[in-house]
Amino acid sequence: MMPRSILLSIVLLSVASDVLAQRVRQVFDGDTISVAGIGVVRLLGVDAPEKTGGYREAERLGDQASAFMRTLLAGQIVHLEYDGERKDRYNRTLAYVFLPDGRLANEAIVRAGFAEVYRRFEFRRKNAFLAAEREARDARRGLWAPP
């Protein structure tokens, strides 16, 4: 049997590896960023429109979604939290991204109306994100505003 202090250290390391604090190096678009020590991170549970100059054709409000995330995250020390699969098919890390003040960037962009909830897969915070999307729709913000 392991001594209690070693067991406690293992538990603490396990928890710490699930919530990492690192600096945002770059915001690529409304749902993809680069985080020091991690690499490319895809915000879990959200789908923002494509921006001008990306790999795919630009979509309505894509540039605004990118600008929103740059304002929110650029240079910030963020905490990452994982839920299920840690990588997507493009080898991007899938994570919830928490700001120093405790706000969840994934939910903030949905609430602002610059992203939709990703409905294809289940994830732990889906109901909260759906509520944020309903709030944005009801207030006619961003994607839900008249063109």
Give the per-residue pLDDT at 129: 98
Q: How far apart are CA 46 and CA 134, in angstroms?
A: 14
Options 42, 107, 111, 116, the catalytic residue? 42
Digit-coded pLDDT (tens) for 119-146: 999 999 999 999 999 999 999 999 999 9
H-type alpha helices, 17-79? 62-73
Q: How far apart are CA 80 and CA 114, in angstroms?
A: 21
Options 50, 107, 116, 133, the catalytic residue? 50
**CA nearest 21: which of 31, 36, 39?**
36
Q: Compute the average pLDDT of residues 61-70.
A: 92
Digit-coded pLDDT (tens) for 100-122: 999 999 999 999 999 999 999 99
Q: Which CATH number fits domain 16-144: 2.40.50.90, 3.40.190.10, 2.40.160.20, 2.30.130.10?
A: 2.40.50.90
Rounded to 5 degrees, φ, ψ at 33 are -135, 170
Return the structure tokens found at 6: 């070693």
Give the per-residue pLDDT at 43: 98
Q: How far apart are CA 107 and CA 96, in angstroms?
A: 9
Residue pair 126/107 in contact (Cβ under 8 Å)? The answer is: no
Is 70 tagged catalytic?
A: no
Options 4, 23, 81, 92, the catalytic residue? 92
pTM of this prediction exceeds 0.85: no
Give the per-residue pLDDT at 15: 41
Is 134 tagged catalytic?
A: no
Q: How far apart are CA 137 and CA 143, in angstroms?
A: 8
- Higher-pLDDT residue of 3, 19: 19
Is 50 tagged catalytic?
A: yes
